[in-house]
């Protein structure tokens, strides 16, 4: 059967690479920084410009497709995944890194049909690392096959997490309590890089053994999610249950054993699903 989505994936890769060039060029200039839901939830004109560029380039070829974009949702668009072919886009994953010129910034583009992700693309533009995966066809970094570490022992694991833009004292207390419990297992260590998409790709590449985060969004992890599963990893909710990209909770791990060990030691704070927050970003509350 002709691979009907391959053309979409090839277009997505080309668009991601071009978007990465725009981001890297913009890194040389001072950015006008705006705030979204908190004093640490940043957005720049580059985020908005790159998302518009990605969406218009795709619409030119596929005008009937749907879109979920971080900055479109922030401007009030609905964040609802339908059966229609849908592109899920984070134009600049790691915006705070971008503003500070911390060298981990990624373009994240996923494509879903009937609510199933067909492919994911994460382009870490400063590193020139193109992570890709097609459903059932493996995961790759610049064309080289990716495999998770396969680590099954949490006490031998390097774990990645992020605090995100939350500064609510109760949320921060939960974050640090979770981290303390994991460190006391003990795990080998933790890292926080500031871009969820790249964090998950580190697990896919076998460079870390687990990543967990509460409070991120579907656009942060839709693409990296298929990259880590196609690399042999597992995705789950932070309670160990089935992963749902709209529920804003994720564990990505080298093995089910490590993922479940993380789930056993952490608890989530309540946060509304992406598809229930219609327009919440628009007015920041
Ligand atoms: C970012 C995530 C990161 C998180 C940041 C932010 P953005 O996404 O990728 O993991 O720590 O707070 O949410 O907003 O840069 O696309």
Mutate to test the pocket of ligand 1, among 35, 195, 248, 277 (most ligand atoms within 8 A of CB): 195
Cα of 196 from ligand 1 centre, angstroms: 6
Nearest CA to ligand 1 atom 15: 94
Q: Annotation-wise, does 220 bind a ligand?
A: yes
Q: pTM for the full model?
A: 0.95
Question: CB of 152 within 8 A of CB of 160?
Answer: no
Nearest atom in ligand 1 to the alpha carbon of residue 98 is 15
253, pLDDT greater than 90 = yes
**Listed residue (217, 6, 258) closest to 119, CA to CA:** 6
280, pLDDT greater than 70:
no
Residues 6+ apart with CB under 8 A from 207: 149
Average pLDDT on 89-114 reads 97
Give the mean model confidence (pLDDT) for residues 46-54.
Answer: 98
Domains of the chain are 2-145 (3.30.540.10), 154-276 (3.40.190.80)
Residue 281's pLDDT is 45
Distance CA 8, CA 13 (A): 9
pLDDT by residue (tens digit) across 127-153? 999 999 999 999 999 999 999 999 999
Q: 45 CA to middle of ligand 1, Å?
A: 16
- Tokens describing residue 213: 């985060």
- Model confidence at 278, pLDDT cuts 50, 70, 90, reads low
Q: What is the DSSP letter of 274?
A: G
Higher pLDDT, 213 or 28: 213
Nearest Cα residue to atom 10 of ligand 1: 196
Enclosing H/E stretch for 63: none
Please tell me the predicted confidence (pLDDT) of residue 8.
98
Q: Is 90 in the pocket of ligand 1 (CB under 6 A)?
A: yes
Whose C-alpha lies nearest to ligand 1, atom 4? 164
């Amino acid at each position: 059967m002709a691979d009907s989505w391959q053309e979409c994936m090839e277009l997505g890769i080309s668009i991601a690479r071009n978007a990465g060039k725009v981001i890297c060029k913009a890194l040389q200039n001072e950015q006008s920084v705006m705030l979204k839901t908190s004093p640490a939830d940043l957005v720049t004109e580059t985020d908005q410009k790159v998302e518009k560029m990605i969406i218009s380039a795709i619409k030119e070829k596929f005008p009937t497709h749907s879109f979920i974009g971080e900055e479109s949702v922030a401007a009030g668009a609905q964040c609802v995944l339908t059966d229609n072919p849908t592109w899920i886009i984070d134009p600049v994953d790691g915006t705070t890194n971008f503003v500070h010129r911390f060298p981990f910034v990624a373009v994240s583009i996923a494509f879903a049909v009937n609510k199933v992700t067909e492919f994911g693309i994460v382009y870490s533009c400063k590193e020139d690392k193109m992570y890709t995966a097609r459903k059932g066809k493996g995961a790759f970094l610049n064309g080289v096959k990716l495999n998770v570490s396969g680590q099954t022992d949490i006490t031998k694991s390097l774990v990645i997490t992020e605090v995100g833009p939350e500064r609510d004292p109760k949320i921060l207390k939960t974050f640090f309590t979770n981290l303390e419990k994991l460190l006391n297992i003990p795990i080998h260590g933790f890292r926080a890089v500031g871009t969820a998409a790249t964090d998950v790709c580190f697990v896919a590449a076998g460079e870390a053994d687990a990543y967990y985060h509460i409070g991120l969004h579907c656009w942060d992890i839709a693409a990296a999610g298929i990259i880590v599963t196609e690399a042999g990893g597992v995705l789950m909710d932070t309670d160990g249950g089935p992963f749902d990209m709209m529920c804003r909770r994720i564990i990505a791990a080298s093995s089910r054993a490590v993922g479940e060990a993380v789930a056993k030691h952490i608890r989530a704070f309540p946060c509304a699903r992406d598809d229930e927050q219609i327009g919440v970003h628009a007015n920041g509350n």
